[in-house]
């Protein structure tokens, strides 16, 4: 599978999309692991860090449905992608004006709100560009993983060398690169098919209220809640345990390296074993990952194994989730389907998880309890997936 099989214009767009994912996840490589490091450096305690990350993450609940509704109604994705990148640049720069609690909460909350416009629309734009060749999606998405790896390998040492207070500057530089990239994209023409599959007839609420979608959404919410101790405190935790900055960056990057490898085969794996089975398996593996971090984080090789499981707890799960949404919603509802996945799964789950992690962390004293609780949440998510229909009850989306 390669972009050479696409028409010239779609081939060029696919490469630009790959670079856009590279830039987008480069920003996340700064933001996700090192936001807590920045907040710690400017004087916040673990409870305040948990609260701020919860506030920031909660804004992702409201953003995706808003942008997705506007995008689906207008039939255009690019204006909202570009708006999100422009606002992200302005707000990263605004973060340098003050480090007070409410200024950080307001600035980062607004950034999260506008930033949430980007990824769901980028996913839909990628699938629309590929047309019938949706199996090439992983080739585009792998650009994001490579961006995360490249930045995570250097950003820790860079923040140590120049000071963690420089965090907003590095974020702004990477967002500017994203803005340049998305400015060169075009809006693919929508392909309208007069034939609508039976399961896609009627209102979108008919599909949202189905048992298997509710089970999927709740399980994703629990999975993302389980990620909260990792996203909020992992870099700080490893620093507390005595790992040097290069080791912290290497461990974070290793998790994404195995993610890249998984993305190359994820499509075939999901098709072969089915969405429901893959989701359950990924939840169980994620529970094992957090259990290892709760008990053996001081041992490098156990920690390396736990990071290796990121291939399943994120990459394979994400590939299965994207396929489920692509099957469950027709083309004109794809953005809203993505928004529920990102908004409620990542937004609500991440916010509740970050708040809970901040409460139990207690300046690292509650780290083992936090990861043990995360393992329980992942197990509960696996149980919820049992309520989903098997793949034979699902049907492909009409082109």
CB 110 within 8 A of CB 91: yes
Higher-pLDDT residue of 150 and 120 is 150
Residue 222 covered by a domain: yes
Mean pLDDT, range 14-29, rounded to an integer: 93
Tokens of 107: 């600035």
- Cα(192)–Cα(333) distance, rounded to whole angstroms? 13
Q: Given this model, what pLDDT does residue 191 score?
A: 53
Kindly state the average pLDDT of the residues 313-342.
82
Q: What is the mean pLDDT of residues 206-218?
A: 85
DSSP 390: P
pLDDT of residue 249: 82
With contact defined as beta carbons under 8 Å apart, do 53 and 354 qualify?
yes
Distance CA 226, CA 222 (A): 6
**295 contact partners, CB below 8 Å, separation of at least 6:** 368
* Residue 311, burial from CB neighbour count under 10 angstroms (0-12, 13-18, 19+): buried
Average pLDDT on 285-292 reads: 95
Whole-angstrom Cα distance, residue 235 to residue 303?
A: 13
Q: What per-residue confidence (pLDDT) applies to 119? A: 87
Written as six digits, the tokens of 387 are: 């309520």
Q: Hey, is 366 helix, strand or coil? A: coil
Predicted TM-score of the model (pTM): 0.73
The tokens for 51 are: 């609260």
d(CA 21, CA 181): 10
Does any domain span residue 126? Answer: yes
Distance of CA 330 to the CA centre of its chain: 22
pLDDT exceeds 60 at position 183: yes
Token duo for residue 137: 């999606």
Say if residues 151 and 175 touch (Cβ distance below 8 Å).
Answer: no
- In the chain, the percentage of residues whose pLDDT exceeds 90 is 34
Q: How confident is the model at residue 343 (pLDDT cuts 50, 70, 90)?
A: confident
The domain in which residue 65 lies consists of 7-185+204-393
Residue 49, C-beta contacts closer than 8 angstroms, at least 6 positions apart? 36, 39, 40, 232, 233, 358
Q: Count structural domains, the chain.
A: 1
pLDDT for the residue numbered 396: 40
**Residue 49 included in any domain:** yes
Is residue 239 in some structural domain? yes
Helix H, strand E, coil C: the string for 4-21 is HHCCHHHHHHHHHHHHHH
Tell me how far apart the 2 most distant CA atoms of the chain are, in Å: 61
The C-alpha atoms of residue 105 and residue 95 are separated, in whole angstroms, by 10
Please report, for residues 30, 46, 160, 294, the alpha-carbon distance to residue 245 in angstroms, rounded to integers and kept in the order given. 14, 20, 8, 21
The pLDDT value recorded for residue 88 is 95
Q: Considering the chain, what is the average pLDDT of its residues?
A: 85
Confidence of residue 280 (pLDDT cuts 50, 70, 90): very high
Given a cut of 60, whether residue 392 has pLDDT beyond it is no
Q: How far is CA 275 from CA 303, 386, 389, in A?
A: 28, 11, 9
In a domain, 143, yes or no: yes
What number of other Cβ atoms are within 10 A of residue 372's Cβ?
17
Lowest mean pLDDT among 78-82, 134-138, 175-179, 389-393: 389-393
pLDDT digits over 261-274, tens only?
887 788 788 888 98
Confidence of residue 363 (pLDDT cuts 50, 70, 90): low
Instruction: For Cα atoms 81, 223, 386, give the angle at the middle one, nearest 5 degrees.
Output: 115
- How far is the C-alpha of 131 from the C-alpha of 182, rounded, in Å? 19
For residue 49 the two structure tokens come to 């860090």
Task: Give the pLDDT mean for 172-197.
Answer: 80
Assess if residue 399 is contained within a domain.
Answer: no
Predicted pLDDT at 393: 39
Mean per-residue pLDDT for 174-200?
Answer: 75
In terms of C-beta density within 10 A (0-12 exposed, 13-18 middle, 19 or more buried), how is residue 8 classed? exposed
| Residue-wise pLDDT tens digits, 41-80 | 898 988 888 888 888 887 777 777 788 788 878 888 899 9
Give residue 395's pLDDT. 42
How long is the chain? Answer: 399
Q: How far apart (Å, rounded) are the C-alpha atoms in residues 256 and 251?
A: 9
**Residue 90 CB neighbour total at 10 angstroms:** 14
In a domain, 194, yes or no: no
pLDDT at 355 over 90: no
Enter the DSSP assignment of 397: P
pLDDT at res. 377:
94
More confident residue, 196 or 125: 125
Per the listing, tokens 């949202």 go with 208
Which CATH number fits the domain that encloses residue 299? Answer: 1.20.1250.20
Inside any domain, residue 332:
yes
């Amino acid at each position: 599978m390669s972009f050479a099989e696409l028409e010239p214009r779609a081939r060029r767009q696919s490469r630009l999309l790959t670079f856009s994912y590279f830039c987008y996840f480069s920003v996340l490589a700064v933001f996700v692991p090192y936001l807590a490091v920045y907040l710690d450096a400017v004087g916040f305690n673990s409870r305040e860090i948990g609260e701020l990350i919860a506030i920031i993450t909660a804004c992702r609940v409201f953003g995706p449905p808003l942008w997705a509704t506007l995008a689906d109604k207008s039939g255009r994705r690019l204006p909202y992608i570009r708006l999100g990148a422009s606002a992200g640049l302005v707000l990263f720069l605004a973060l340098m004006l003050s480090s007070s609690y409410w200024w950080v909460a307001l600035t980062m909350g607004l950034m999260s709100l506008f930033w949430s416009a980007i990824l769901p629309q980028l996913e839909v734009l990628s699938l629309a560009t590929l047309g019938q060749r949706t199996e090439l999606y992983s080739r585009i998405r792998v650009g994001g993983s490579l961006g995360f790896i490249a930045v995570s390998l250097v950003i820790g040492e860079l923040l140590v060398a120049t000071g963690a207070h420089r965090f907003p500057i590095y974020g702004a530089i990477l967002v500017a690169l994203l803005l340049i990239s998305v400015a060169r994209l075009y809006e693919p023409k929508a392909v309208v098919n007069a034939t609508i599959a039976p399961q896609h007839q009627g209102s979108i609420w008919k599909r949202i209220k189905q048992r298997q979608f509710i089970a999927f959404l709740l399980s994703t919410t629990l999975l993302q809640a389980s990620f909260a101790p990792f996203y909020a405190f992992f870099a700080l935790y490893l620093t507390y345990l005595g790992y040097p900055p290069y080791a912290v960056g290497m461990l974070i990057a290793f998790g994404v390296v195995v993610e890249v490898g998984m993305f190359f085969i994820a499509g075939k794996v999901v098709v072969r074993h089915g969405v429901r089975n893959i989701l359950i398996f990924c939840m169980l593996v994620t529970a094992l990952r957090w259990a290892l971090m709760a008990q053996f984080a001081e041992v490098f090789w156990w920690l390396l194994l736990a990071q290796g499981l990121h291939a399943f707890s994120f990459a394979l799960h994400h590939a299965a989730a994207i396929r489920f949404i692509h099957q469950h919603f027709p083309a004109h509802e794809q953005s809203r389907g993505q928004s529920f996945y990102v908004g409620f799964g990542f937004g609500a789950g991440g916010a509740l998880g970050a708040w809970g992690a901040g409460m139990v962390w207690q300046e690292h004293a509650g780290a083992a309890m936090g990861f043990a609780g995360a393992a329980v949440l992942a197990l509960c998510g696996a149980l919820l997936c049992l309520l989903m229909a098997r793949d034979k009850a699902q049907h492909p989306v009409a082109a």
